[in-house]
A and B are shown apart, each in its own frame.
Chain A
Amino acid sequence: MSKRILIIDDEPDIRETTQICLEIAKGWEVFTAGSCQEGLEKAIAEQPDAILLDVMMPDVDGLTTFAEIQANPATRQIPVILLTAMIQPSDQRRYNQMAIAGVITKPYDPTTLADQIIELLN
């Protein structure tokens, strides 16, 4: 099923490649944002089915961004999936306490990315 995904990540290459993966391979609609601010705007505007949120971002990092998303009633109900290279046990604990849909580690397997997202959303 087609999904509308918002990718919030500071790395342009990752935005681009992930977007192409999901659009071309899966035909989904993908929006990208390079920062928390941009991400919030886009989330409110597009109301995606899910947000792929990068944790490691300069300025406002992913977790703060998530808090913003949760705080905003317009975006609160949008499920968030963390996309991160940081999977230390301490990170894991932290993620478990967050009201996120799930975590996908980088580098993700492009083959299964979409499925993972669907799975996490259900």
Chain B
Amino acid sequence: MKSEFSDRLSPGQLNSFALLLHRMINRIRQSLELSEILKTTVAEVRIFLKTDRVKIYRFHPDGSGEVVAESIKDQCLPSLLGHNFPASDIPSEARDLFRTIGQRSIVDVANQQIGLSSFREGSAEVMGEMDYRPVDPCHVEYLVAMGVSSSLVVPIRDGENLWGLLVSHHSLSRHYSDQELQVVQLVADQVAVSIAQANLLHQTRLSAMQEATINRITALLHSTPEMQLQAALEQTIVALQGFGGRLYISLPNSQFPLHLPQHLFTVGSQPITPQDWQSEEATSQLAEFSPFEHHPHWQTWLEMEEPVNSSSGVWAIADLYQAVMPSDLVTALIEAQIRGVLILRLQYGSHRLGYLTVFRDEIDVERIWAGHPDRDHPQHLRPRQSFETWRELKRNQAHLWTLEDIELVKALGYHFAIAIHQSILYQQVCALNTDLAEDIQRRKQIEQEIIALNAQLEQRVRERTLELQQANVALVEQIAEREKTLLERQQAEASLQRLSHQQELILDSAGEGIYGIDPQGKITFANPAAAKMLGYSIDELIGHWMHMLVDHARPDGTPYLVSDNPILETVQAGVVHSGSNDLFHRRDGSSFPIEYVSSPIWEQNQIIGAVVVFKDITTRQQIERMKDEFISIVSHELRTPLTSIRSTLWLLANGWLDSHPEKSKRMLDIAFSNTNRLVRLVSDFLDIERIKFGKITMDKRTCNAGDLMIQSADTVRAMAEKAGIHLAIAPIDAELWADPDRIIQTFTNLLGNAIKFSPVGSTVWLTAEVLNNEPDHSIAPTTTRISEDQIANQPNLSSPTSILFKVQDQGIGIPSDKLETIFDRFQQVNISHARGHGGTGLGLMICRGIVHQHNGRIWAESQLGAGSTFYVLLPCQHPSQQHS
């Protein structure tokens, strides 16, 4: 800026120049607003140059330009501010030169010269001198038409582009010095800087605005709870200077059921879809929604048309008239006055979410031209003559989509996509949440129900537990009661059993027969004695008809009938019956005499049966018979001698025998002997009785067996001689403890019998021997039958010594079946009576009694016709001495 430059100017000029520059630069720098800067610039430059007009001309992309800043001095020249100039006004070559080398031009109309110089960047030096040469006459004409005599044009370059021109016009001819040129160049450079800054600012502002728009719209998109798509769309359309738009969200089937409408938002004008466009799918429910996007043409056309950026999915059609589109689509759009369409495919990742479409209608573009080009001839043939202001109004122009528009829509689309995707996700999440919420709700409900049920259950359980406890308590009590009862019952049963057992024992033990009958006469129980007597087993008796079984009969044998059976009467009428000598019959049909008592069994005033107690009185009858017999016999035995005595004494007393002395004597003898007979009988009888009842006192002492034998023999000697019997006595010398008189009585009796029943001339022996051991079975029987005395009477024979006496005869003998009975009363072998021997028949019985009283034994052995032997076994010692 310094040296060469400052050499050519005057100091004053230099000063003012520096000042101007300084001031201009300051002013320029003070403001960031381009319009301000430009206005300042042109004002300052004009003041500096002192020309009529300084303007800044800005080029449009199509080559035309517009005066954007102007400073005019006192209206020397018309204002061209805001006027557009066609591109042809500045030939393209010139523009190129302006752009590429920064050529500056100075036109001097008066001299018809144009000076051109280029400007090297990075150096302040002018690149050569101003190169003057003749100017194109058209150019001159142009300038003259404008009223300009001299002009200075400096290009304003923004980087590689020719942004505009800094132009100074003067109505008079003026020389522009190099310095001035340098200054203007510097200013132009500064303007360029400012423009760059302003551009930056503008870009920044634009970006900020876009950001703001995007943020705003995004805020709407991301506002919760609902994405405000409608509002966002509206703002989008506004931001994109559209007059209509659509947001079409189509989602994969998996996310929305087919019958739900696709989401479609519309703002403003919409394409008009005729009826027949309705796709088959969307007949019923989607009648309202014009599935513009469903139209197959739409899809295919979209596929066909190359997007502006293949990755972004943006279709920008500024002018539908010129678009290659299916005619029906175009018609639909055009009829809605849509001139321009900007379509953005909304895509998130690989998911295609729909389309954002912005419609632009036709716009009217007004331009102010300097001069109406139509009136002039084609420009390149002749320069323009008129620069009158001409307002051009172009109607129905397509509103072009700018790069910014596209960037904006892409950015917005991105956010839409995100928002929609998020919305989808959100909706999915919401749906899931809803489901979840429903689920949770349901579960909560169920939970509550469960809680309620649980509470109920608990309540019931409590109640039930209480019930159970109570029941339990009751049960325990019951059990205790039952146990008690059971115990009592067991005790009762036990005692019953005991009683029953006792009863059984009693019944079993009772010697008498006891049986019970029910009211029908069937035997209900019987004791063993009854069963035995009747010859049945107890089981055979029970349940049977008593009447049939025992065939109760009278003593004479006539059976009782059912009607007069006394036992049946007992059970039917309750009458106690008893009787003796009635007959019961055994199983085998034999009968036996009984003594019975039948008593009814009463229970609560009802007869429930009867008890019959009976005993077999056969023995008693026998005994009775025997007694009767005995009495008969005794009376007979008593009466018989009395008969003789009576007769004899009568005879004697009445003197019938006075004349028969021998007969008298005879009668007296008979009387005497019969009297003796009576005496014997009475004493024997008394003996028997006394012996039987143990009332006889034995006067026992030590005596000699031999003595006893001898004395006995002596007693019967006379009798033996009379009968012609020989007595053979063999006394032994042995001592025994006995009552001698009784022993002698015994032996005498035996000897007497032997003598009585022996034939004349036979011998009767009386012998004895001492035995040292237990003698009971050592004696060999000579007969087949041993008298029961041997078995029945077992006196204490543990004494080491005893004496066995024998009385043997050769008499008639005793039948074997009488060997036992001869010791009973009045048993005499009958044949003896033919002999007329007396004898009471009690003798042997007395002997037996005496022998038993001595703890001895007596028995007989005999052979009929050969003789009999009577044995008497007596212990030697006193019983108390036996254990020595």
Question: Residue among B639, B667, B831 with the most chain A CB within 10 A?
Answer: B639
Measured CB to CB, the closest approach of chain B to A42, in angstroms, equals 17
From residue 1 to 43 of chain A, which have CB atoms closer than 8 A to chain B? 10-14, 16-18, 20-21, 24-25, 34-35
Counting CB contacts under 8 A, is A73 at the interface?
no
Counting CB contacts under 8 A, is B663 at the interface?
yes
Contacts of A34 in B (CB 8 A): 834
**Chain B residue with minimal CB distance to A108?**
B643
Write out, one digit per residue, whether chain A residues 76-96 have a CB within 8 A of any chain B CB (1) or not (0): 000000000110101000000
**Chain B residue with minimal CB distance to A59?**
B830
Number of interface residues of B (CB under 8 A): 35
Known: A25-B656, A110-B646. A13 touches B670 (CB 8 A): yes
A25:B833 contact, CB within 8 angstroms: no
Contacts of A56 in B (CB 8 A): 632, 636
Counting CB contacts under 8 A, is B648 at the interface?
yes
Measured CB to CB, the closest approach of chain A to B478, in angstroms, equals 74
B647:A21 contact, CB within 8 angstroms: yes
Interface residues on A, range: 20 to 34
Contacts of A11 in B (CB 8 A): 640, 643-644
Report which of B632, B642, B663 forms a contact with A20, defined as CB distance below 8 A: B663
Known: A24-B651, A25-B654, A86-B635. A14 touches B643 (CB 8 A): yes
- C-alpha gap A16/B663 in the complex (Å): 10
Counting CB contacts under 8 A, is B159 at the interface?
no
Report which of A13, A24, A85, A88 forms a contact with B660, defined as CB distance below 8 A: A24
Contacts of A58 in B (CB 8 A): 828, 830-834
Contacts of A111 in B (CB 8 A): 650
Counting CB contacts under 8 A, is B776 at the interface?
no
- C-alpha gap A57/B828 in the complex (Å): 12
Contacts of B647 in A (CB 8 A): 14, 17-18, 20-21, 107-108, 110
From residue 49 to 99 of chain B, which have CB atoms closer than 8 A to chain A? none
- C-alpha gap A16/B660 in the complex (Å): 14
Contacts of B654 in A (CB 8 A): 25
Measured CB to CB, the closest approach of chain A to B665, in angstroms, equals 12
Counting CB contacts under 8 A, is B657 at the interface?
yes
Counting CB contacts under 8 A, is B641 at the interface?
yes
Counting CB contacts under 8 A, is B836 at the interface?
yes
A107:B646 contact, CB within 8 angstroms: yes
**Chain B residue with minimal CB distance to A107?**
B643
Counting CB contacts under 8 A, is B467 at the interface?
no
Report which of A20, A25, A108 forms a contact with B667, defined as CB distance below 8 A: A20
Write out, one digit per residue, whether chain A residues 40-59 have a CB within 8 A of any chain B CB (1) or not (0): 00000000000000001111
Question: Residue among A18, A86, A109 with the most chain B CB within 10 A?
Answer: A86
B640:A25 contact, CB within 8 angstroms: no
Counting CB contacts under 8 A, is B328 at the interface?
no
- C-alpha gap A1/B785 in the complex (Å): 59
- C-alpha gap A12/B632 in the complex (Å): 20
Counting CB contacts under 8 A, is B674 at the interface?
yes
B651:A110 contact, CB within 8 angstroms: yes
- C-alpha gap A48/B591 in the complex (Å): 45
Known: A24-B660, A110-B646, A110-B651. A17 touches B831 (CB 8 A): no
Write out, one digit per residue, whether chain A residues 91-108 have a CB within 8 A of any chain B CB (1) or not (0): 000000000000000111
Report which of B628, B642, B832, B836 forms a contact with A106, defined as CB distance below 8 A: B642
B641:A59 contact, CB within 8 angstroms: no
A17:B833 contact, CB within 8 angstroms: no
B641:A13 contact, CB within 8 angstroms: yes
From residue 616 to 638 of chain B, which have CB atoms closer than 8 A to chain A? 628, 631-632, 635-636, 638
Question: Residue among B635, B647, B660, B674 with the most chain A CB within 10 A?
Answer: B647
Counting CB contacts under 8 A, is B161 at the interface?
no
B640:A20 contact, CB within 8 angstroms: no
Report which of A24, A35, A90, A106 forms a contact with B643, defined as CB distance below 8 A: A106
Counting CB contacts under 8 A, is B558 at the interface?
no
Counting CB contacts under 8 A, is B673 at the interface?
yes
**Chain A residue with minimal CB distance to B644?**
A13
- C-alpha gap A11/B839 in the complex (Å): 13
- C-alpha gap A37/B648 in the complex (Å): 27
- C-alpha gap A14/B645 in the complex (Å): 9
Measured CB to CB, the closest approach of chain B to A112, in angstroms, equals 11
**Chain B residue with minimal CB distance to A25?**
B656
Contacts of B640 in A (CB 8 A): 11, 14, 85, 106
- C-alpha gap A90/B636 in the complex (Å): 15
Contacts of B643 in A (CB 8 A): 11, 14, 17-18, 85, 106-108
Known: A106-B640, A107-B639. A88 touches B632 (CB 8 A): yes
Question: Residue among B638, B646, B831 with the most chain A CB within 10 A?
Answer: B646
From residue 825 to 874 of chain B, which have CB atoms closer than 8 A to chain A? 828, 830-834, 836
Measured CB to CB, the closest approach of chain A to B460, in angstroms, equals 97
- C-alpha gap A34/B836 in the complex (Å): 10
- C-alpha gap A11/B654 in the complex (Å): 24
**Chain B residue with minimal CB distance to A21?**
B647
Question: Residue among A34, A58, A111 with the most chain B CB within 10 A?
Answer: A58
A85:B639 contact, CB within 8 angstroms: yes
**Chain B residue with minimal CB distance to A84?**
B636
Known: A17-B648, A107-B643, A110-B650. A86 touches B636 (CB 8 A): yes
- C-alpha gap A111/B651 in the complex (Å): 9
Contacts of A24 in B (CB 8 A): 651, 656-657, 660, 663
Write 22 A-B pairs (CB below 8 A) sorted by A numbering. Answer: A11-B643, A13-B674, A17-B643, A17-B644, A17-B647, A17-B667, A20-B656, A20-B663, A20-B667, A58-B833, A59-B831, A85-B639, A85-B643, A86-B632, A86-B635, A86-B636, A88-B628, A106-B639, A106-B643, A108-B643, A108-B646, A111-B650
Known A20-B663, A56-B632; further 12 A-B contacts with Cβ < 8 A? A11-B643, A13-B644, A21-B650, A24-B651, A59-B830, A85-B632, A85-B639, A86-B632, A107-B643, A107-B646, A109-B646, A110-B646
Q: Which residues of B contact A (CB under 8 A)?
A: 628, 631-632, 635-636, 638-648, 650-651, 654, 656-657, 660, 663, 666-667, 670, 673-674, 828, 830-834, 836
